């Protein structure tokens, strides 16, 4: 079981994922929406679609669960919002799986 951190502010939340974890499960930053952020080798995957995409792929390839070990409250406005946005490479027709 791999452990990850989850950041949130008054309006949204992000799963913190290292690039090596993406590559380990055959994903790249281009597999996510422009609503996620990057700071160096760390991605902050927005909670509505991108974090779910990552978690599902991780669990399929590792036969295990993702465990959130830290819930980090960044207050009213997270500094994550000032990081570089991921490129807008996803199709607008992408669906959110419910």
Whole-number pLDDT of residue 48: 92
- Taking only the tens place, the pLDDT of each residue in 3-58 is 899 999 999 999 999 999 999 999 999 999 999 999 999 999 999 999 999 999 99
How many whole angstroms separate alpha carbon 36 and alpha carbon 84? Answer: 9
Helix (H) / strand (E) element for 82: namely none
pTM of the model: 0.86
Provide the residue ranges of all domains of the chain, joining segments of one domain with +: 2-84
């Amino acid at each position: 079981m791999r452990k990850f951190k989850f950041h949130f502010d008054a309006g949204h939340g992000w799963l913190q994922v290292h690039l090596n974890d993406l590559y380990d499960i055959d994903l790249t930053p281009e597999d996510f929406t422009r609503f996620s952020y990057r700071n160096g080798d760390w991605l902050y995957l927005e909670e509505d679609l991108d974090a779910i995409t990552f978690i599902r792929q991780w669990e399929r390839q590792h036969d295990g669960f993702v465990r959130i070990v830290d819930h980090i409250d960044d207050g009213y406005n997270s500094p994550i919002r000032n990081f570089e946005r991921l490129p807008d490479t996803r199709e607008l027709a992408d669906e959110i799986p419910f």
